[in-house]
Amino acid sequence: MEPECPQKSPYVIDVEPGTYAWCRCGKSGTQPYCDGSHAGTNISPEVVKFEEKRTVAWCGCKRTKNPPYCDGTHSLL
């Protein structure tokens, strides 16, 4: 199954220390984070943990080769 493409640009967000589940399927209503909408698919979220506050460019097209981070693949869509 190919993931949906919710947007052709990254979600640039300041995050606090903690654990985050990045949506891989593109169906989540809480992009870029997982809300469980992948149920029934063969796609699961990418879980990442940050030790300190930082700015993250989460992939919005769901086609990055470096999940969950934007690698510019959206420019090829």
Q: Global pTM?
A: 0.93
pLDDT at 39 over 90: yes
Predicted confidence at residue 2, as pLDDT, reads 86
Residue listed under structure tokens 């891989």: 24
Predicted confidence at residue 1, as pLDDT, reads 78
Distances 38 to 2, 34, 65 between C-alpha atoms, Å: 12, 8, 20
Average pLDDT score, the chain: 97
Predicted confidence at residue 11, as pLDDT, reads 98
Whether 41 and 1 have beta carbons less than 8 Å apart is answered as yes
